Chains A and B, each alone.
Chain A
Amino acid sequence: MKTSDLILQTATKLILFLIVLFSVYIFFAGHYTPGGGFVGGLLTSGAILLLLLAFDMKTVQTILPFNYLYMVALGLLFAIGTGAGALLFNTPFLTHAFGDIHVPVLGELHLHTATLFDLGVYLVVVGVTMSIIQTIGGDE
C-alpha cells in the first residue's frame, strides 16, 4: 500500500533547521554553559536521522553526499592536529592557546584552540553515529 507522508515531510522541513541551529548553538556554547562537541554532534545526527525517517536512504545520500567514515578520519585529524600544533611552539602536546583576535567583519573575538579540538569531537560523533545508523538501516 502506498502511503503519503505529507505532514511528516512538511514538518521535517521546518523542524530540521531548528534542530541543526540548536546543535550548532550547543556546540559553540560548550565553553561557558553545558554542551559541547559530544551533545552537539549527537543532536546533528538526530537531525539527519529525522531526515532519514521522513525520506529515504537514497534521497538523504543525494542531499548530504558525505562519506561518514571520511568524516570520522577528518575529526581525528582535527583533534590530533590541534594537539600536535602545540609542539611547533615548543610547548607540551595538547597545550591550548587563546587570545583576543581582531577579525575583519566580526570585530574583537576571544578565540581558543580548544574549539578546534571540540570540532574534531563533533565530526567524529556525527560520523560514527551516522555510519552505525546507515550500516544497520540499509538492508542491502
Chain B
Amino acid sequence: MIQTVVYIALICVAVAMITLLYRVIKGPTLPDRIVALDALGVNIVAMVALVCIALDTNAFLEVILLFGILAFIGTVAFSKYLEKGVIIENDRNS
C-alpha cells in the first residue's frame, strides 16, 4: 500500500521537475531560471525523501539537509551576482 502511494508521489514530483526544467530552458530572463533551479533543488529533496521511504532505509536523511543547504547557498550566490555583479565583495563599506 505505502509502496504504491510512494511511487505515485514520485511520478508526481518527476512531472513537476519536468515542468520546472521547461522553465529553466525556456525562461526568458535569468531570474526565472534561478527560481526554477531553486525549486528543482527542493523537488530533489522531496525525491530523496520518497526514495528513502521506498527503499526502507534512513541512510539518505543527511542528504536531504545537505541539499537544502546547498540549494540555499547557490541561490544566494546567484542572486548576489545578479544584484551587485560580484559574488564576494572585498570591503562593503568602501
Contacts and interface: CB of A to CB of B under 8 A. Distances in A.
A8 B84 CA distance: 14
B76 interface: yes
Given A3-B84, A26-B62, A35-B62, A138 B90 contact: yes
Interface of B: 59-60, 62, 65-66, 69-70, 72-73, 76-77, 80, 83-84, 86-93
A43 B69 contact: yes
Contacts of B62: 26, 33-35
A42 to B, nearest CB: 9
Nearest to A8: B76
Interface of A: 3, 8, 15, 19, 22, 26, 33-35, 39, 43, 46, 49-50, 52-59, 133, 137-140
Given A26-B62, A35-B62, A57 B80 contact: no
Given A19-B69, A55-B92, 12 more contacts: A3-B83, A8-B76, A33-B59, A43-B66, A46-B70, A49-B77, A52-B88, A53-B88, A56-B92, A59-B92, A138-B88, A138-B90
A9 to B, nearest CB: 10
Contacts, number: 54
29 contacts: A3-B83, A8-B76, A19-B69, A22-B69, A26-B62, A33-B62, A34-B60, A35-B62, A39-B66, A43-B66, A46-B73, A49-B73, A49-B77, A53-B73, A53-B76, A53-B77, A53-B87, A55-B92, A56-B89, A56-B91, A57-B88, A57-B89, A57-B90, A137-B87, A137-B88, A138-B88, A138-B90, A139-B86, A139-B90
A133 B93 CA distance: 21
A53 B80 contact: yes
Interface centre among B66, B77, B83 (most CB of A within 10 A): B66
Contacts of B59: 33-34
Contacts of A50: 73, 76
